[in-house]
Every structure is written in structure tokens, then in C-alpha cells.
Amino acid sequence: MPPESPTLASFMAGLPASARLSRSAFEEIRTLARQVFGLDLKQGKESLVSARLGKRVRDLGLQDIPAYLDYVRADRSGAELSALIDALTTNFTSFMREAQHFTHLRERILPALEARPAAFTIWSAGCSTGEEPYSILFQCAEALGLPRLDSLRLLATDISTRVLAAAQSGVFTAERLKDLPQAWHRRYFRRGEGASAGMMRVRPEWRQRVSFARLNLMQDFSRLPQCAVIFCRNVMIYFDRPTQEQLVRRFAAQLEPGGWLLVGHSEGLMGFQHGLDCILPAIYRKPGRAPAKRSAS
């Protein structure tokens, strides 16, 4: 095993035992993160990993990071794996993030879908705490109105059980709603009172229109319904290029002909073989015509 570099070694020496990360432990975390989550933990991320996992080690009352890795391996429920990915990635998100996507949804995608006779699926893959799927829902509600909105099947998935629980509860600080029109605050949210003052909660009749589920994008998702639109934004940045390319191809297979894939603006798919047409920055479309008739299930 190569010796640790002097800078890394001296950095590690200054850390409490709970956060000290040997090169072999870092390599073990890297391998685990790549195999299980597709995560690309680059060399040089040691300090970030030790700071993030050190906190988890202390919270669990464990001795050090190798003891924590034993704990992760022994936990058959997968809950600690979920906590591990939480510690290694960021869940940053916001309502109407990358607003051009929502303009495109309103002006181009929904008019095309509205003309269709039956149900369609929109999938928010890597939905974090829910701001993305709720933004999609509100935009669809505004554009389609009732009862046409009943044609929408809105699926929202993430690998992290923690963010999914937050998303399902639909509770946000009022400050987080700043990018939504005021009229939407009243229409889609209930204002918290008493101990919940300053909080806003998505009204139950809107919350129940989103199907939240845990899904690791590294695993097979071909049994999901074919999608009219897939949002997978600011998720692939964590993956290496081959993993990204493979995932984009699987998304392409999951789209119905004429369907759209929306990725984060910093996630270029340049050089990938995926068979999708790039119609605007970060917006891709599968060639072909949407099916004329579909089952409503």
C-alpha cells in the first residue's frame, strides 16, 4: 500500500479519531460508493468525506471510520447505506430551480401532452426534498386545470429515505417559497399556526397527487411506466462519465417516443450515444411520435 502523502497524513493527525480517514478506508468508501450508488468520489475528497462521516461516526457513538464501515456492512436493512449516501451527496434543491425548464414545460410540453387522449407519466428522478416534483405539479395544475390534471401520473423518486420523508410531509419554511407566485402560496399551501408559524405545508389534496418512492438509479427501473417526461437534474453530476452515459441510455429507453429528458444545465450529455435529440440546452427529446392511445393505468 502506498504511504499517505505528508499533507494528508498531517491533516489526518489533527482530526479526532472519529473522523480520521486512512487511505485504505477512503478507498473502501470510494469502492462502496461507486458500486452501490454510482458515486464518483474523486481523489482529493478525503477531507470532505472525513468531515461528513466523522459526524455520523460520533452520532452513532462509534470509535472511528473503519468501525463505521463495519456497521454499514452489518446493517441488512439498507438504512445506514442510505445515511451514508446522504452524508456523501448534497440534497440542495429549490422550487422552480432552473426556471427555463418550467417555461418549456408550460409552453411546449404540456400543450403537446394535453392534446393526447389519456394518461401520461412525468418522473422526477432524484427528487430530493420535493421542491422539484411539487413545482412540476403546480405548473401542470396551472396549465391543465381540473379535471384534465387527472391525466397526470407524477412519480418522484430518490435514493435517500430522509429526503423522501421530508418530501412526503410537504412542509417548507415560508422563505423557501419565494420563487413561487403569491397566488400559488394560497392555492397549494396551508399556512402553519402556533408552533408551526413560519411554515407552509402543501395541501393534502395536492400532496396525494405525487407518488413518492425510494429508488436507486443504479438499479433496474425498466418496470416503471413509460414516461412522457423525465426530470433528472443535478443528480448525474455525482456519477462518472461511463455511469452517466449508461443512465442516460436507460432513461432514453424509459421514454415513450416523442418524450422529453430534462437534465441539469451543468450536466452536458455531449459525446454520449443516447439516440435523443438535443432541442435546447439541457432539454432532450426522443425521436418519434407519442402513442395516440394509452391505457389510463
CB of 1 to ligand SAM, least distance (A): 29
Q: Is residue 34 annotated as a catalytic residue, yes or no? A: no
Q: Which lies closer to ligand SAM via its Cβ, residue 22 or residue 234?
A: 234
Q: Is residue 52 annotated as a catalytic residue, yes or no? A: yes
**89 counts as binding ligand SAM under rule CB under 6 A:** yes
Residues 197-216 that bind ligand SAM (CB under 6 A): 216
- Contact criterion met (CB below 8 Å) for 119 and 295: yes
Query: 41-46 long-range contacts, Cβ below 8 Å, gap at least 24?
Result: 41/88, 46/8, 46/11, 46/21
**282 counts as binding ligand SAM under rule CB under 6 A:** no
**47 counts as binding ligand SAM under rule CB under 6 A:** no
Q: Which lies closer to ligand SAM via its Cβ, residue 23 or residue 265?
A: 265
**217 counts as binding ligand SAM under rule CB under 6 A:** yes
**91 counts as binding ligand SAM under rule CB under 6 A:** yes
Residues 141-160 that bind ligand SAM (CB under 6 A): 158-160
By CB under 6 A, how many residues form the interface with ligand SAM? Answer: 23
**120 counts as binding ligand SAM under rule CB under 6 A:** no
**Residue 265, φ and ψ in degrees, nearest 5:** -65, -20
**Residue 192, φ and ψ in degrees, nearest 5:** -70, 150
CB of 212 to ligand SAM, least distance (A): 12
**218 counts as binding ligand SAM under rule CB under 6 A:** yes
> Could you give the CA distance from residue 85 to residue 250 in angstroms, rounded to a whole number?
22
* Catalytic residue of the set 52, 116, 148, 201: 52
> Could you give the CA distance from residue 132 to residue 179 in angstroms, rounded to a whole number?
12
Among the listed residues 24, 95, 16, the one whose alpha carbon sits nearest the alpha carbon of residue 53: 16
Q: Which lies closer to ligand SAM via its Cβ, residue 8 or residue 215?
A: 215
**37 counts as binding ligand SAM under rule CB under 6 A:** yes
Which residue in 90, 100, 196, 211 binds ligand SAM (CB under 6 A)? 90
What are 151's three cell numbers?
Answer: 391525466
* Catalytic residue of the set 20, 40, 97, 158: 158
Residues 154-193 that bind ligand SAM (CB under 6 A): 158-160, 163
**82 counts as binding ligand SAM under rule CB under 6 A:** no
- As annotated, the active-site residues are 52, 158
The site for ligand SAM (CB under 6 A) is made up of 37-38, 89-93, 97, 126, 128, 132, 158-160, 163, 216-218, 233-235, 238, 264
